[in-house]
Amino acid sequence: MKLFTLLFLLLFTTLIYSQNISGKAYYESKTTVDLDAFGGGREITPEMKNMIAERMKSMLEKTYILTFSNKESIYKEEEKLETGQGNPGFKMMMGSFTPGPQYKNIETNILVEENEFFGKQFLVKDTIQTLKWELGKESKTIGNYIVFKATAIKMVNPNDFSMARPRGGKRNAGDKGESEVKKDSTDIVDPMDEIEIPKEVVVTAWYTPQIPVGQGPGEYSGLPGLILELNVYRTTLLCSKIVMNPKESEKIEAPTKGKEVTREEYTKIVKEKTEEMRENFKGGRGGGRRFGGQ
């Protein structure tokens, strides 16, 4: 039965692939955080966990919109009114490591990404890094669509702090090692020493040949159908709504705001600024110099 379904979908895909396809896909993003792992050995009460989770909710739960056609797409966060909760400084820091609108053209293999990094705007131009997808036989339904599973290994950008995890993994109270080393309570501990970025992660995607476009949320693409669900480390993106071939289709254009840089140049800028922040923290100098020496 599954084989018949797959053959039918492939035939259906072939028949309509030459047609002009456009639409909007809405994705609900949720990221989980292991608060115990980042407790630095201190026990976090359930009440404290709930308070932290509520304050971080706006950063960990977001809605994104992918506007797509056969060849192009633009992916951006849905604008919402700020509630005023949370730490503004923390929000700015985390926002600096979160991509802005992302444009992809799968025909020309171009990706353009708008980023704001500590108050300065950058326009990152890159090629689409298509993953080596392994297509599986598993299928399920999301809404009215049959989706199929695909997996790939993704190399992680060393500056992607959304992938951060406790260095050496989660430690239990009885673990040896660092717990044997006594630290003076007045010592300044660099938070960056407590975390690490994995070199690679497994990406799991669920795509539907019923919408035969090689598009997907964010930087992801290259499958024989629109990606409706994506799982990357602790983040899950799930499509909640699709509007196909709207009467008034939105024009898909690449973002233009910011200083134009390559991916390599932007990675270097982020790395240098992060290292500067660490040095300022260790030296107890507070904010230090402003970005760009201003």
Predicted confidence at residue 14, as pLDDT, reads 47
136 pLDDT tier (thresholds 50, 70, 90): very high
Report how far residue 199's alpha carbon sits from residue 6's, in angstroms, rounded to the nearest whole number: 35
Q: Does the pLDDT of residue 87 top 70, yes or no?
A: no
Q: Does the pLDDT of residue 202 top 90, yes or no?
A: yes
Q: Is residue 291 part of a domain?
A: no
Q: What is the CA radius of gyration of the chain?
A: 22
Give residue-wise pLDDT tens across range 51-81. 666 666 667 789 999 999 999 999 999 876 5
Describe the chain by its helix, strand, coil percentages, rounded to 5: 25, 35, 40
Q: Is residue 71 part of a domain?
A: yes
Q: Which of 41-45, 166-170, 173-177, 277-281 has the lowest mean pLDDT?
A: 173-177
Read off the tokens for 195. Answer: 């975390």
172 pLDDT tier (thresholds 50, 70, 90): very low
E-assigned strand segments in 143-254: 145-155, 165-166, 195-196, 200-208, 226-232, 235-244
Q: Is residue 6 part of a domain?
A: yes
Averaged over 144-160, what is the pLDDT? Answer: 88
Q: Is residue 217 part of a domain?
A: yes
CB 194, CB 167: distance < 8 Å: yes
Predicted confidence at residue 74, as pLDDT, reads 97
Question: 4 φ, ψ to 5°?
Answer: -60, -45
Q: Is residue 58 part of a domain?
A: yes
Q: Is residue 239 part of a domain?
A: yes
pTM of the model: 0.75
Q: Does the pLDDT of residue 90 top 50, yes or no?
A: no
Report how far residue 216's alpha carbon sits from residue 164's, in angstroms, rounded to the nearest whole number: 24
Q: Does the pLDDT of residue 161 top 80, yes or no?
A: no
Higher-scoring residue by pLDDT: 285, 229: 229
Report how far residue 149's alpha carbon sits from residue 153's, in angstroms, rounded to the nearest whole number: 14
The whole-chain average pLDDT of the chain stands at 77
Q: Is residue 289 part of a domain?
A: no
Domain count of the fold of the chain:
1
Structural domain containing residue 165: 2-283
Q: Is residue 265 part of a domain?
A: yes
Predicted confidence at residue 176, as pLDDT, reads 40
Q: Does the pLDDT of residue 207 top 90, yes or no?
A: yes
Averaged over 217-241, what is the pLDDT? Answer: 95
254 pLDDT tier (thresholds 50, 70, 90): very high
